[in-house]
A = this chain, B = another copy of it.
Amino acid sequence: MSMQGHVTPQKMHFSEALKLRSGATLRDYTLVYETYGRLNAERSNAVLVCHALNASHHVAGTHADNPKNVGWWDNLIGPGKPLDTDRFFVICINNPGSCFGSTGPMHVNPDTGRLYGSDFPVVTVEDWVNAQARVLDRLGIHQLAAVMGGSLGGMQALSWTLQYPERMRHALVIASAPSLSAQNIAFNEVARRAIVTDPDFHGGHFYAHGVVPKRGLRVARMIGHITYLSDDSMEAKFGRELRSAELAYSTQEIEFQIESYLRYQGDKFSEYFDANTYLLITRALDYFDPAREFGGDLSRALSRAQAKFLVVSFTTDWRFSPARSREIVKGLLDNRIDVSYAEIDAPHGHDAFLLDDARYHGVVRACYDNIAREIGA
């Protein structure tokens, strides 16, 4: 049970077009967001949390109509928690292109009158940050106490420090990377091919056919899950455990518990996640590469940053390995930017950033304690 209590999603509509990196524009869009805690009189205690691939604005607390729907980072954010909502005003915004309420492929394209589907414009991490900045403008928040995110959310936090260097005091970049590796892109591409080649995808306009490319979504999610867990944690959790005492000697029946787990995860995901959103978000991951416009020189790319950084990585995370976080740290140090780095010895792979680990949460708590002192919260 969460101590946060109930939270109500809010909506903000924008009729001013959002110019995207691709050159396309998104006009007449709505963003869904949630807030926790209270904005102080000085408007200095706001923390923006950025969500990752399959998460939403619902980062903490529960919804009144569904007390079991606990926010995805509820173990970290709430009254008395490392990011203490008794002291900070926390905002989490569902990104455009998502399938959790903000304008996305499942909504009507005002230019055509039909659902966007695969016509939804490609959105980048930079575009999301710009969209989020507009929400903060409306809320009257000029400077954030901190921006924080894990994984793809960490990329957004990093991008914030480069796009709006003066708009935050601190940035917490957790289990993230300055860009995807070739292997990361490769896994994304396989997932996308599984979705796009599913006959039920219908070129991305499957809504009109009353079907969902579930086969593709299942495979995509199964691949994702393998990369979220460490080899060791998968071994510890499942190993070669069989579902039945006797082998069935079958190529299609489930023999091993790991197969059962993956199929379950794939089935569940295919019930609620939008295929076009999956394509968009994996592409946003692929494209993120702030060093690109500096000829690959990350140090030069990071020279714009003014925030103080906390970078956290997890030893068994092979999706976004500690080496990738260290690239960020080096780039910041090259610019004499204030950065703390914690490499947490955790067995859970990439998933560790979502789990309750005492050392990890201790580091985040200490960071927010310092920020609270700075701003007098």
For A226, what are the chain B residues with a Cβ–Cβ distance below 8 Å?
A: 183, 186-187, 190
The proximity string for A residues 274-296 relative to B, scoring 1 for CB distances below 8 Å and 0 otherwise, is 00100110110011010010000
A181 near B231 with CB under 8 A, answer yes
Number of interface residues of A (CB under 8 A): 61
- In the complex, A181 Cα to B341 Cα: how many Å? 32
- CB within 8 Å of B: which A64-123 residues: 118, 121-122
Contact indicator B219/A251 (Cβ below 8 Å): no
A127–B119 Cα distance when bound, in Å, is 52
Please name all residues of chain B whose beta carbon is closer than 8 Å to the beta carbon of A181 when the two chains form the complex. 231, 234-235, 239-240
Q: Which segment of A38-46, A164-172, A254-262, A361-369 sits at the interface?
A: A254-262
Which of B118, B234, B247 contacts A186 (CB under 8 A)? B234
A249-B21 contact given A182-B237, A240-B179, CB 8 Å threshold: yes
A58 at the interface (CB under 8 A from B): no
A251 contact set on B, CB distance < 8 A = 118, 122, 192, 276, 279-280, 282-283
Q: Does A345 contact B (CB under 8 A)?
A: no
A351 to chain B, nearest CB (A): 14
Chain B residue with the shortest CB-CB distance to A234? B182
A197 at the interface (CB under 8 A from B): yes
Q: Check: A141 CB closer than 8 A to any chain B CB.
A: no
Docked Cα-Cα span, A318 to B222, in Å, equals 19
Compute how far the CA of A283 lies from the CA of B250 in the bound complex, rounded to whole angstroms: 8
Q: Indicate whether A189 reaches chain B with its CB closer than 8 angstroms.
A: yes
Does A193 lie at the interface of the complex (its beta carbon under 8 Å from any beta carbon of B)?
Answer: yes
Contact status of A186 and B219, CB under 8 A, knowing A118-B251, A252-B196: no
- A residues lining the B interface (CB < 8 Å): 21-24, 118, 121-122, 179-183, 185-187, 189-190, 192-194, 196-199, 215, 218-219, 222-223, 225-226, 229, 231, 234-235, 237-240, 247, 249-252, 255-256, 258-259, 262-263, 266, 276, 279-280, 282-283, 286-287, 289, 292, 318
Chosen A-B contacts, 12 in total, with CB atoms closer than 8 Å, are A23-B249, A24-B249, A181-B231, A182-B239, A182-B256, A185-B240, A189-B222, A189-B259, A192-B251, A193-B263, A199-B199, A240-B289
